[in-house]
Every structure is written in C-alpha cells, then in structure tokens.
Amino acid sequence: MIICEKVSKRFGEKFAVRDVSFRFDKSLAVLGYNGAGKSTLAKLIAGILKPSSGRIEVFGKDPYKCVEVRRKIGIVTHNPMLYRELTVEENLRFFANLFRIEEWDWILDELNLRDKSNKKVLELSRGYLQRVAIARAMISNPHLLILDEAFSSLDLEGREILRKMIRNFEGSILLSTHDLEEAKFCRKFLVLHNGEAAYFGESYDEAVGVLRAHKEGSEG
Amino acid sequence: MRPLAFLELTKKDLKVEVRSKSSINQMVLFAIASAFIFSLSVDAEKFFGQILMIVVLFSSMLSCSATVVREFELETVDGLKHSMSSREIIAGKIISNSLIVFFLVLIITPVCYALFNLSGDFFLLLISLLISSLPISTTVTLLSPLSAFAKGREMLLPAMLFPIIFPVFIPSFKLLGFSYAGIFDFISAMFLLSYTGLIFSLSLILSEHLF
C-alpha cells in the first residue's frame, strides 16, 4: 500500500505539490499538464525528495528515511540516472552489483538492448537511453515501479515492450503521464493541477473530464 | 553498511575517471604547473613540504569536489540513493577520491623531487605525502555535497575547507620535513591518520544530510 497524506513540497516560495492525499495498492495514474507537479510527486514517493510537510508511506515506511524501502522502488524519470562514460552493460552491472543480483542480463533481451550492450551511454539515442533507464529500474525486481513520462521518448517498439512489461509486472505501479491512452489500464487516477489534487478516484472518464476542464479553464 | 556496496561505488568512480580523465588531467597539469612555478620563485629545497601541501590541497579541491558535484548535476545521485544508503555513498566517494589523490601524489612526488633538487629519502617522502593527503581528500569529499548547489561553489568550498583542514598543516609540514631527513615522525603521522578517521566518522554521521 502506498499512502500520501496532505503532502506538500515547496521550492523556495513556490509550491510544486500542495496538500495532496491519496492511497493506492495496485496502480495509480497521475495525470496533469506540464508543471502540474507530476515529476515532483513521483520523486517524493520514490524517496528522492523530502516532503516539506505531510506523510508518505510506502510498504509501511517513509521512503525518504528508509533505504530498504527505496531499494524496493524502481523509478524512471526524464533523467536516465546513468553514467555516460560507461557502457550499457557496465551501467547495468554496476546497479545489479549494488543490489547483489547475479542474474541480470535477461533485462538486455527483454528490452532488446543486447546489441547495444557494449556501447557507451553517451553514444545512445534518446529512445535507447530511455530503454536502459527502464532496465536500470527493473533490474532489482522492484515492488513499486514509478514511471514518470517513461513512454515519452520511446519509439513504437519501445512502447510495445514497456506496455508488455507493465502488463506482466506483479508489483504496484505509479504512472505519471500526460498521455491519456497510456493511463487507461490503471485502477486509480489522480489529476494534478498547479500542484494540487483536482481529482482522485477510480473513474477514468471522470479523471479525463476534470483534466480537460482544467485545460479549458486555463485557456479560457 | 555493506562493504561490497561502497567498494562497487569506488570501482565505478575510478572507471568513470579513467574513461573521462576530466579530473585527473586537470589535477596533474595544475600540480605540475604550480610545482614548476614554485621551483623557480622560492627556495624550494627549504619549503618543499609547504609547496607540496599547497599543490596537493588545491589539486584535491579541483578533482575531489568535481567527482561529487558531477553526481548531483547529472542526477545520478538519485540512482545511487535508490540502491545504497547515504553512508555507503559517502564512504565509497571518500575512498575513490583518496585513491585519485594517491595517484596524483605518485605522479607529482618524483616530479617535485627532480624540480626542487631534493636529495633526501624519496620513499619516506612519498609515504609521508600519501599520509598527509588523506585528511585533505576526506575533508574535501565531506564538504563537496554542501557546495554542490551553491551559486559561488568555487569560493564556498575553500572558505569552508580552510578552517577544518587548518590543524592538518603543521603536522604535515613536520612529517614531510622529518621524512626528508630520513626520520619517520610517528606522532605527526598518527595525528594525521586520526584526523582522517575523525573526518571520516563525521562524514558517516552527517551522510543523511549530505546525500
């Protein structure tokens, strides 16, 4: 169970996330336009950022304070968190070693990265970089997978591979996106607008309605 | 703390450094250039200990802070935080930075020995300089995350570093001076190693606030 209670995150005077509350078990889609606070929320739940106020609980513990919980979370953000000077294989081996995982190269086949394994990360295209980032997140067999705009730079093949991985994933998923089609499979939906929760519930149609209403509101 | 985890980080840092050569090249060039200028301008044989310490101090500031700051700038530190504790991260960083500074010392000691026309015990001088470099690399690594996001980090790091590193200077000068005469100053060496241990422990205690 992942619980957020009145979570706020402030950068200076500006609130990136404000008083957001939700809880989910299996899957949550966080929807919102650019600057809504999706990435900040993803990083808060992943334990990368410390909330300014409120409480976050992932599998019963605060992810910011507990490394054991963070080790159960796989996260893909706009930044691949990879070492540019190392090859794909060296990067993945490094993270696998940190998790003490010996059998890890199945992920190369899973993401169709085998022929790129000896290439340096800095030589990869944006799409392949994203695939390696997904591999890094999945290598530890996480219990919670956080995908923040993970589909955005993938080509058709990459998108299909990721969709398949998500379908077969047995843990919890938090999918942060502005692509409504990708969010359809989720069981719960959170719509963020200017850092605040505009909707939280189980209806996809309602979530989309709220999202569109906010877009029209800000345009009108 | 898992010893294998922080050694993995050390191994990775050294591999990245060997591939990019960004810090090592900068550090070695700076060290050799400043040693050369000092050899022309002051009585280098008399002040070699002080000169060596200045060269090691400023070169370490360049390289040790760069390896830490790069993790923050590229946000790779977020990936580390997902797989390691803060203590493991700081321990790994201190060890890799110390090894990089050791490498510098191995290069500049013979260069300085030749430039300064020294004739004392070379190996004792080398060992003394390695010991003297330890508190410097440890302290710079401890302070680097604090200055990573500061606007004037080039100014902030030395400003924070000098008051903490100050107690190290006199024992280092003594250790280097005695080693030149063929004597190993055990008390100064123990002081420097203890000071390194103290800063290392402090780094582990403060690690949660650093990473």
Instruction: Determine, yes or no, domain membership for A40.
Output: yes
| Mean pLDDT, range B42-68, rounded to an integer | 85
- pLDDT value of residue A133: 94
**In terms of domains, do A55 and A153 share one?**
yes
| Cα dist from A218 to A30, A194, A199, whole Å | 19, 11, 16
Instruction: Determine, yes or no, domain membership for A136.
Output: yes
- The β-bridge partners of A58 are A2, A61
**In terms of domains, do A156 and A212 share one?**
yes
- pLDDT value of residue A219: 56
Q: Which two tokens stand for residue B179?
A: 């080693």
Share of chain A above pLDDT 90, in %: 56
Residue with tokens 């300089």: B129
Cα–Cα distance measured from residue A210 to residue A195, given in angstroms and rounded to the nearest whole number? 14
Mutate to test the interface with A, among B82, B86, B90 (most CBs of A within 10 A): B82
Instruction: Determine, yes or no, domain membership for A104.
Output: yes
Instruction: Determine, yes or no, domain membership for A162.
Output: yes
Residues of A in contact with B84 (CB under 8 A): 67, 98
Instruction: Determine, yes or no, domain membership for A44.
Output: yes
Helix (H, G, I), strand (E, B) or coil at A73: strand
Contact A71 B82 (CB under 8 A): yes
**In terms of domains, do A53 and A103 share one?**
no
**In terms of domains, do A93 and A199 share one?**
no
- Which of A111, A112, A107 lies closest to A139 in space, CA to CA? A107
H-assigned helices in chain A: 38-46, 67-70, 88-98, 106-110, 126-138, 156-168, 204-219
Instruction: Mark which of A94, A121, A141 sits at the end of a domain.
Output: A141
Contact B15 A71 (CB under 8 A): no
Pick from A94-103, A210-219, B11-20, B26-35: least confident: A210-219
Identify which has the larger pLDDT, A196 or B22: A196
**In terms of domains, do A66 and A152 share one?**
yes
Q: Enter the pTM of the model.
A: 0.87
Reported as a pLDDT band with limits 50, 70 and 90, residue A59 is: very high
Q: Read off φ and ψ for residue A84, nearest 5 degrees.
A: -65, -30
Task: Give yes or no for a contact between A82 and A91, defined as CB atoms under 8 angstroms apart.
Answer: yes
The CATH number assigned to the domain holding A6 equals 3.40.50.300
**In terms of domains, do A23 and A123 share one?**
no
Cα–Cα distance measured from residue A135 to residue A110, given in angstroms and rounded to the nearest whole number? 9
Contact A98 B85 (CB under 8 A): no
Instruction: Determine, yes or no, domain membership for A77.
Output: no
Is a pLDDT exceeding 90 seen at residue A215?
A: no
- pLDDT value of residue B182: 87
**In terms of domains, do A24 and A90 share one?**
no
Number of domains making up chain A: 2
State whether residue A14 sits within 8 Å of chain B by CB. no
Strands A53-58 and A2-11: antiparallel
Instruction: Determine, yes or no, domain membership for A78.
Output: no
Model confidence pLDDT, tens digit, residues A109-167: 988 899 998 999 999 999 999 999 999 999 988 999 999 988 888 888 888 898 888 88
> Could you give the angle at which helices B48-73 and B86-115 cross, rounded to 10 degrees?
140
Q: What is the CA radius of gyration of chain A?
A: 17
**In terms of domains, do A210 and A174 share one?**
yes
Cα–Cα distance measured from residue B125 to residue B16, given in angstroms and rounded to the nearest whole number? 30
Helix (H, G, I), strand (E, B) or coil at B112: helix
**In terms of domains, do A88 and A134 share one?**
yes
Model confidence pLDDT, tens digit, residues A174-205: 999 877 888 888 899 999 999 999 999 998 88
Q: Which domain holds residue A120?
A: 83-141
**In terms of domains, do A213 and A147 share one?**
yes
Contact A97 B15 (CB under 8 A): no
**In terms of domains, do A66 and A89 share one?**
no
State whether residue A9 sits within 8 Å of chain B by CB. no
Q: Which two tokens stand for residue A121?
A: 């990360």
Model confidence pLDDT, tens digit, residues B149-170: 777 777 888 888 889 999 999 9
State whether residue A99 sits within 8 Å of chain B by CB. yes
User: Which residue in B has a C-alpha nearest to residue A69's C-alpha?
Assistant: B82
**In terms of domains, do A151 and A207 share one?**
yes
Instruction: Determine, yes or no, domain membership for A102.
Output: yes
- Which of A95, A134, A142, A140 lies closest to A113 in space, CA to CA? A134
